[in-house]
Amino acid sequence: MNTFGNIYRLTSFGESHGGAIGGVIDGMPAGLTVDFEAIDRDLKRRRPGQSELVTARNESDAVTFLSGIYEGKTLGTPIGFTIANSDMHSNDYENLRHVYRPSHADFTYTAKYGLRDHRGGGRASARETAARIVAGSLAAQALATEGITIRAYTSAVGDIRLDADPSKLDLGKVYDNAVRCPDAKTAAEMERLIREVRSEGDSIGGIITGVISGAPAGLGEPVFGKLQAMLASAMMSINAAHGFEYGMGFDGACRRGSEMLDRFVTDADGSIKTATNHSGGIQGGISNGSDIVFRVAFKPVATLLQDVLTVNDKGEECTLRARGRHDPCVLPRAVPIVEAMASMVMFDALLANRSSRL
Amino acid sequence: MNTFGNIYRLTSFGESHGGAIGGVIDGMPAGLTVDFEAIDRDLKRRRPGQSELVTARNESDAVTFLSGIYEGKTLGTPIGFTIANSDMHSNDYENLRHVYRPSHADFTYTAKYGLRDHRGGGRASARETAARIVAGSLAAQALATEGITIRAYTSAVGDIRLDADPSKLDLGKVYDNAVRCPDAKTAAEMERLIREVRSEGDSIGGIITGVISGAPAGLGEPVFGKLQAMLASAMMSINAAHGFEYGMGFDGACRRGSEMLDRFVTDADGSIKTATNHSGGIQGGISNGSDIVFRVAFKPVATLLQDVLTVNDKGEECTLRARGRHDPCVLPRAVPIVEAMASMVMFDALLANRSSRL
Amino acid sequence: MNTFGNIYRLTSFGESHGGAIGGVIDGMPAGLTVDFEAIDRDLKRRRPGQSELVTARNESDAVTFLSGIYEGKTLGTPIGFTIANSDMHSNDYENLRHVYRPSHADFTYTAKYGLRDHRGGGRASARETAARIVAGSLAAQALATEGITIRAYTSAVGDIRLDADPSKLDLGKVYDNAVRCPDAKTAAEMERLIREVRSEGDSIGGIITGVISGAPAGLGEPVFGKLQAMLASAMMSINAAHGFEYGMGFDGACRRGSEMLDRFVTDADGSIKTATNHSGGIQGGISNGSDIVFRVAFKPVATLLQDVLTVNDKGEECTLRARGRHDPCVLPRAVPIVEAMASMVMFDALLANRSSRL
Amino acid sequence: MNTFGNIYRLTSFGESHGGAIGGVIDGMPAGLTVDFEAIDRDLKRRRPGQSELVTARNESDAVTFLSGIYEGKTLGTPIGFTIANSDMHSNDYENLRHVYRPSHADFTYTAKYGLRDHRGGGRASARETAARIVAGSLAAQALATEGITIRAYTSAVGDIRLDADPSKLDLGKVYDNAVRCPDAKTAAEMERLIREVRSEGDSIGGIITGVISGAPAGLGEPVFGKLQAMLASAMMSINAAHGFEYGMGFDGACRRGSEMLDRFVTDADGSIKTATNHSGGIQGGISNGSDIVFRVAFKPVATLLQDVLTVNDKGEECTLRARGRHDPCVLPRAVPIVEAMASMVMFDALLANRSSRL
């Protein structure tokens, strides 16, 4: 199950320290003029080493397209691509060959497969998400031709929160700072917290908010393919994600129906809208034309710069010594991944909707 | 997309006021001795009219199996089944033919398909979930043969919360009360709140906690088929669900890594376990042998016993008059649905895992 | 794997002597005005008991639609349907509980599943194909709105063959005779042969030719979803099918390239066509606008009115005594099934093609 | 739809003259010790330039594995791989940018996608099948651990035919000659015919027979996933395939049931077998333990060393001048492709069967 999507599909491959990571994008319609710079920009937003807030692994993360694009346009055929693995310190990991790091996937991969590539987390490494950026960036370009835009931002790091209504924020500023928060003041507080946590050899988690604008009413396949189910599946497939909510979410759900009702009103131009957006832009699993708003919780990364006790594959207790580089906070790098996954979901929904009516 | 699952698959069909609802279960292995009484019990737990806390629609919800079972055992062939629609007051809905109820799916279905069956919510009705109970109940029976059990309970209604560690609760008591909360005292408070809300013609939402016990380490397909992604997709496909979290969830995610680390320890019998369970039984998308714990937020139902302002399909403002029967709180009836969906996910993961090693 | 199709999907269920057979059609777009009489007509063409050439089992084969259609139009939601099993002489089959009939599926189902429903062939019965007629008939109605028509006919029974170019035949006459051959003279010869074979307690196979007209150039997903691959899969999934070919087929394949080349020419109206059709309307897996022509071989049915030697489930030799009713030739009843499967393939391809270009 | 298979899946990508071709193999269980030399051998059997009978394009066809294999064993994670395109004479094709070659995919790709990569056939090139060899070779290695072997051979070129019972042939000799026919005398005749056809600037087609030995009874998902339907889909997805038959095929289908019946008999060791194999090893869509025997017709390749008349994309008539290199007969190179596709189908069926019983 390394394929995501129904009509627009990404099949990804690659271990952190293998020959390369990459993927195949199937289902991209023919005729999209590809903006390669936008893909590079999106990859750069995800890659490590870009600020002091994230891991120092220095990957150039340059994507090589092998097929599916000719003379700048998509052909309708599958788009194969690779991203080389470089700056690999595989020997750094030799001591982990027989050790199960706490709250990592070492133990479970071994339980499932009987063996694993222990170097850099192998397939469980978040490095795999670079492939998602490529597919998501292309999807976003296709969505843009229909006026649909997708933006995410860090809305909480630890207890530093940005609770503003997303529609009141200037989401064009998200990438202006390292923490990916559109409010400069909150961003500064978040960065201070991350530095503090880092200096203690600890890590911290938080919340990313996603906003999808410009989607027409009618997207989403009701019942099992509800838009919120597709988005939840997409988001919860990202490493470290521990929660998903949309619209009123957990807090609003515990309130009264009369407070949460979204009245319909008619615009001056005759179009029907909701006066409020507790529904988060989705009703009955289908978009209603309002902004689609969701939030994803990301746990603090499990690799700490502290010695921790654990066991090896013989069940013997051992100490995991603190090593060189890690992300104290995954949120900044997860923002473009959330955008990529949401883009894939929405473009898939858009294509599916082409068959909704005879 | 009315099919759920990869190897164990349910394809459901049916509108609330059509000829019948039902489904086809494909991928059930041959040789399961079917406990029909257990299926009826599970359907009964979901059906309306069973207590004063839920809608009075009186459906017997008797399932008729049409295929796939012979002389009490599954054949390995698809299991077709129907559940008759009865006690339909379709004329009650004639006034809704041209009206878009707020926070319902009337508007979005019309936007998507150009037409809809307006009677009782049509396909968007939660009545569809009865089909899920059938498939989930059969999955649970198959899981039980491997020692895996799944239980859910109401852990919050409005601000009445049961915050106890699920492993400390006696989950055998969930169905002892109408609100489906294993703690009698909290249950009584929840019921009082629901009655109060109902008397006001209002509704209230809350949270359901799910617990999967006995799952071996190794279930879940990492990357896009992570166990949490499959569970999230399953839960968010249930009507009214607005949030999903597992393990540490939203709150724990905002804390420090050092607080959330699950140390591995070796049992007296030599098996490796985690000393704590912030990971919610899943690491790297794969079960680790601990209880899998998740929570689902359900919004307050949108049908109120109050007059509400809305618009019709011409965009004209109109008043929706309060009508006879509705659920003031969807939680009690959603508990068995959460169990059913989790059972389908886990059985599907179990079958998929049969191909994890040569 | 009881689901056929990608976007337009049929999931079928049912054993020959179970409660009912039926299915769920998912992916039918909203807005088709359903012609119920056409569905009944198509079912009637397949059902047994309609002439002396086929089995006497008397099924009314009336379909009951349970969902997905409202006020005569498709809703875009899944269409659930059942067809009752009647005139079942289940006791006729008690003697087969432990016997493996030669060239039937008794032995292989038991090998696969460890048990089987032995009555009337269980799931292996061709009775299952009635569900395909329903889905195919609806697909044909949708295709007709785009000017695509599909017709099949019996082109060989034993060594009686109709070798005429399909485009020279009046396919409107196919259902004028019991054997489903558009040439009256050949039809009479075929019928005489079937009667002769029947009087000997034997059976006979043959070939059905299918013709798809009006399909635009561009249908079919190249590589694994080539139109011929989808058609082959569809046809070879029909009981008793032993061969599939299209265009030049086996015979033409063994000739020279220079004889088989289809020159392109430009019509008076400027459209590009092929002067000949050795390609059978498909090039590179994609339709080219010409008629799509294919042939399917059906083996003689394995149930004979002769005593035959076989073994039981203990491996003991035993004699299978000739019983009352059977089809001496499956071809006449297979003609509408071939049409139904081709209709599903083509409609699926048409919907898939809606995503071929941005 | 560039993915083949359900549990064991190949997603292929690549145009003939793009950056590379390749694929992702998903669903390979962990723990297979990979025989890389066998993969190279299989690729070599397919690649051009290996004898005077086939095209002179000189591809080394070396596969580079990028993931999914570690220290010589499969990890259970996706296996990404690429095969470089070299010896590309892309300029040779500039004259084809606006021309539709007869009986090629130029016209249909343009009709479908609105544009195409005209160089070397683009995605429609048989070069894509190299990716299938890689996935098929790995599947064959996994099947071998269960005692299942798959062999194909050229059984007809034009009217030169090898009609011998496949079980009487020494299939170990298939690759001893350039034409891939296990009978040396027939092989010599076939080669002579191919040389003759070549000298005339013409091409010739023929038939490949496939034999699957050692498969246990029970493989294949009845109804739509019948083993013959999966094999047919696999074979008809190969470039130039125009027909598929198994067991008695077209010829046997037209004979009487009494001639075609496969009697069951009990072996000395108590196992049940069929005395004859008209069923081709499959009954009711499920393997019965006998050899599975099928035949695939391949048309003569459409590229001739003769000037041919055609039209360009404006519909103007033009002459296609004969060019340098082409295959006069596709059969020799198609033999390993047939083996590869059959291996994928059988391994997929084997894995699916792990869920047939509780």
C278 shares contact with chain D (CB less than 8 Å): yes
D32 shares contact with chain B (CB less than 8 Å): yes
Mutate to test the interface with D, among A13, A17, A119 (most CBs of D within 10 A): A13
Give the residue carrying structure tokens 């391994």: D347
Q: How far apart are the first and last CA of chain B?
A: 32
Distance CA A3, CA A7 (A): 11
Residue C67 and residue B9: Cβ atoms within 8 Å?
no
Which residues of C fall within a CB distance of 8 Å from B26? 1-3, 11
- Exposure b/e, C62-84, CB count within 10 A at least 16 = b: ebebbbbbbeebbbbbbbbbbbb
Residue B117 and residue C70: Cβ atoms within 8 Å?
yes
Shortest CB distance from D354 goes to which of B32, B142, B355? B355
- Nearest-neighbour CA in chain D from A112: distance (Å): 9
**Cβ–Cβ under 8 Å, residues C3 and C11:** yes
pLDDT, residue D88, reads 67
Tokens of C134: 């329903």
Nearest Cα residue to C283 out of C224, C350, C222, C230: C222
Pairing verdict, β C264-266 and C317-320: unpaired
**Cβ–Cβ under 8 Å, residues B85 and B17:** yes
Shortest CB distance from C232 goes to which of D236, D272, D316? D236
The model's pLDDT over B333-342, given as tens digits with 9 standing for 90+, comes to: 999 999 999 9
A32 shares contact with chain C (CB less than 8 Å): yes
Distance CA D327, CA D194 (A): 10
Q: What angle do CA D73, D79, D81 make, to 5 degrees?
A: 115
B80 shares contact with chain D (CB less than 8 Å): no
Mutate to test the interface with B, among D148, D355, D356 (most CBs of B within 10 A): D355
Distances (CA, A) of D5 to A171, C113, C208, D233, D246: 42, 22, 28, 10, 20
Residue D221 and residue C1: Cβ atoms within 8 Å?
yes
Closest residue of A to C223, CA-based?
A: A77
Q: Count CB pairs under 8 A between chains B and D.
A: 43
Residue B357 and residue A262: Cβ atoms within 8 Å?
no
Shortest CB distance from B76 goes to which of C9, C13, C112? C112
Residue B358 and residue D32: Cβ atoms within 8 Å?
yes
pLDDT, residue B215, reads 98
Report helix, strand or coil for C325.
coil
Asked if the model's pLDDT at residue D58 lies above 90, the reply is: no
Which residues of D fall within a CB distance of 8 Å from A70? 15, 18, 115-117, 122
Shortest CB distance from A123 goes to which of D2, D21, D75? D75
Residue D356 and residue B142: Cβ atoms within 8 Å?
no
pLDDT, residue D299, reads 97
pLDDT, residue C180, reads 97
Asked if the model's pLDDT at residue D103 lies above 70, the reply is: yes
pLDDT one digit per residue (tens) for chain B, 358 residues: 899 999 999 999 999 999 999 999 999 999 999 999 999 999 999 987 677 676 655 667 899 999 999 999 999 999 999 999 876 676 778 888 999 999 999 999 999 999 999 998 999 999 999 999 999 999 999 999 999 999 999 999 999 999 999 999 999 999 999 999 999 999 999 999 999 999 999 999 999 999 999 999 999 999 999 999 999 999 999 999 999 999 999 999 999 999 999 999 999 898 999 999 999 999 999 999 999 999 999 999 998 988 999 999 999 999 988 776 678 999 999 999 999 999 999 999 999 999 999 9
User: Cα torsion at D41, D46, D50, D53 (round to 10°)?
Assistant: 140
- Nearest-neighbour CA in chain D from A85: distance (Å): 10
Listed as ranges, residues in chain A with pLDDT below 50 are none
Mutate to test the interface with A, among C34, C355, C357 (most CBs of A within 10 A): C355
Residue A355 and residue C222: Cβ atoms within 8 Å?
no
- Nearest-neighbour CA in chain A from D222: distance (Å): 24
D301 shares contact with chain C (CB less than 8 Å): yes
Q: Is the pTM of this model over 0.95?
A: yes
- Nearest-neighbour CA in chain C from A195: distance (Å): 45
B33 shares contact with chain D (CB less than 8 Å): no
φ, ψ for residue B194 (rounded to 5)? -65, -40
Which residues of C fall within a CB distance of 8 Å from D248? 242, 299
Mutate to test the interface with B, among C77, C81, C93, C94 (most CBs of B within 10 A): C77
pLDDT, residue D49, reads 66
pLDDT one digit per residue (tens) for chain C, 358 residues: 899 999 999 999 999 999 999 999 999 999 999 999 999 999 999 987 677 676 655 667 899 999 999 999 999 999 999 999 876 676 778 888 999 999 999 999 999 999 999 998 999 999 999 999 999 999 999 999 999 999 999 999 999 999 999 999 999 999 999 999 999 999 999 999 999 999 999 999 999 999 999 999 999 999 999 999 999 999 999 999 999 999 999 999 999 999 999 999 999 898 999 999 999 999 999 999 999 999 999 999 998 988 999 999 999 999 998 776 678 999 999 999 999 999 999 999 999 999 999 9
- Exposure b/e, B177-199, CB count within 10 A at least 16 = b: bbbbbbbeebbebbbebbeebbe
Mean pLDDT, range D9-31, rounded to an integer: 97
How many CB atoms sit inside 10 A of residue D124's CB?
25
Shortest CB distance from D266 goes to which of C159, C232, C311? C311
**Cβ–Cβ under 8 Å, residues B102 and A261:** yes
The model's pLDDT over B10-30, given as tens digits with 9 standing for 90+, comes to: 999 999 999 999 999 999 999
- Nearest-neighbour CA in chain B from D69: distance (Å): 14
Residue type, D117: D
Q: Going edge to edge, which strands form the sheet with D206-213? A: C160-161, C149-157, C206-213, C292-298, C241-246, D241-246, D292-298, D206-213, D149-157, D160-161
Subunits with 3+ Cβ pairs within 8 Å of D are A, B, C
Distance CA C336, CA D344 (A): 32
pLDDT, residue B324, reads 63
Cβ within 8 Å of D, B 155-194: none
Mutate to test the interface with B, among D69, D77, D79, D358 (most CBs of B within 10 A): D358
A319 shares contact with chain B (CB less than 8 Å): no
**Cβ–Cβ under 8 Å, residues D212 and C212:** no
Cβ within 8 Å of D, C 201-230: 202-207, 216-226, 228-230
**Cβ–Cβ under 8 Å, residues A137 and A343:** yes
C355 shares contact with chain A (CB less than 8 Å): yes
Give the helix, strand, coil percentages of chain D, each rounded to 5.
35, 25, 40
- Nearest-neighbour CA in chain B from C336: distance (Å): 24
Burial (CB count within 10 angstroms: exposed 0-12, middle 13-18, buried 19+), residue D184: exposed
C70 shares contact with chain D (CB less than 8 Å): no
Which residues of C fall within a CB distance of 8 Å from D352? 1
Closest residue of D to A113, CA-based?
A: D30
**Cβ–Cβ under 8 Å, residues D27 and D42:** no
Distance CA A62, CA A44 (A): 9
Which residues of A fall within a CB distance of 8 Å from C27? 355
The model's pLDDT over A31-42, given as tens digits with 9 standing for 90+, comes to: 999 999 999 999
Mutate to test the interface with D, among C157, C261, C303, C326 (most CBs of D within 10 A): C261
Residue type, A227: L
The interface pTM score, or ipTM, of the predicted complex is 0.97
D88 shares contact with chain A (CB less than 8 Å): no
